[in-house]
Amino acid sequence: MPSTDTAHSPLPTTAVGLGLRRALLDDLEQAAPGDLDFLECAPENWIGLGGVWAERLGALSARYPLTCHGLSLSLGGSAPLDMAFLDQVGRFLRQYNAVLYSEHLSYCSDDGHLYDLLPLPFTEEAVHHTAARIRQVQDRLGRRIAVENVSTYLTPHAAMSELAFTRAVLDEADCDLLLDVNNVYINASNHGFDAAAFIDGLPAERIVCLHVAGHYDDGGAVKIDTHGSPVIDPVWDLLQRACTRFGPRPTLLERDFNFPPFAQLRQELQQIRRTLRAAPPAVAA
């Protein structure tokens, strides 16, 4: 088994994961030992399901550690947090022994669900507002959570950089970070900042997990986060840089549609594993 660094993550530092999608269930159930070490699911896609779906999820969660990556808490939103839904999430996390729960550093609701992860203004007011809501979530769940940096295509208002905003929220909320390396690449391309400098400026002690994914790029000015294509070389390079800077962290391959044969996903998982194993030991910030 990979080595474990409990100071940073409940998972082994060199663990390799894959998103639990229903289209991949057959492949995941037939995966050979060593193909992957953990699975990640969105609770929203599984809460309330029974019958064969619950049975298959239960069997996989007994075989692999399960992490959960939420879609609809709207941590930066203005509407009150949905505490009834949050309680449902808490029960789901306990039922399936989820070792990590993360959400997006964004908002996705107003008077109803907006079905997208929308960018927050990078302001002191937004820092205080979002951090307070994250603390509410942690108190209600009785556990730390991680927040993920999201891909964006515009910035409502930027009184500070994304890096400064992210660090400020992490500090004030006292929560962890799920670092999405692909989103760093996309935002650096879309907004014209240095992706490597962004990664170098993050607090190592708060990073509990990494994501890598593919995205859509038609050669135009805007790159779009899709999770529907292979990881490209510049994103692999950023993953290597992150692991060199921070030491290895559990890393998940996100693929949400346009699924290739599992053998191709296995190749990407193996590339993640090679990168993690080649990284120097974990370091402090």
> What does residue 209 show for φ and ψ, rounded to 5 degrees?
-165, 155
Q: Tell me what the mean pLDDT of segment 211-215 comes to.
A: 90
Tell me what pLDDT residue 149 has.
95
Residue type, 131: A
Reported confidence tier of residue 32, pLDDT bands at 50, 70, 90: very high
Residue type, 18: L
| In the predicted structure, residue 40 carries a pLDDT above the cut 70 | yes
Reduce the DSSP state of residue 276 to 3 states and report it: helix
| In the predicted structure, residue 188 carries a pLDDT above the cut 80 | yes
Q: Tell me what the mean pLDDT of segment 78-106 comes to.
A: 95
32 Cβ contact partners less than 8 Å away, ≥ 6 residues apart: none
Q: Say which range, 156-160, 175-179, 199-203, 243-247, has the weakest mean pLDDT.
A: 156-160
Tell me what pLDDT residue 8 has.
61
C-alpha 52 chain-centroid distance:
27
- Residue appearing with tokens 């029960």: 91
Q: Nearest Cα to 76, choosing from 156, 182, 186, 195?
A: 156
> What does residue 261 show for φ and ψ, rounded to 5 degrees?
-55, 145
Does the pTM of the predicted model rise above 0.75?
yes
| In the predicted structure, residue 258 carries a pLDDT above the cut 60 | yes
Tell me what pLDDT residue 283 has.
58
Q: Tell me what the mean pLDDT of segment 245-266 comes to.
A: 96
Tell me the per-residue pLDDT of 2-24, one tens digit each, with 9 for 90 and over: 434 434 678 999 999 999 999 99
Q: Extract the tokens encoding 109.
A: 């609701």
CATH for the stretch 16-278: 3.20.20.150
Tell me the per-residue pLDDT of 94-132, one tens digit each, with 9 for 90 and over: 999 999 999 999 877 555 454 467 888 999 999 999 999
Mean of per-residue pLDDT scores for the chain: 91
For the chain, percent of residues with pLDDT exceeding 70: 93
| In the predicted structure, residue 25 carries a pLDDT above the cut 90 | yes
Contact predicate 265/223, CB 8 Å: no
Euclidean distance between the first and the last CA atom of the chain, given in angstroms as a whole number: 26
Q: Say which range, 58-72, 120-134, 154-168, has the weakest mean pLDDT.
A: 154-168
Reported confidence tier of residue 223, pLDDT bands at 50, 70, 90: confident
Tell me what pLDDT residue 217 has.
74
**Can you give the residue ranges of every domain in the chain?**
16-278
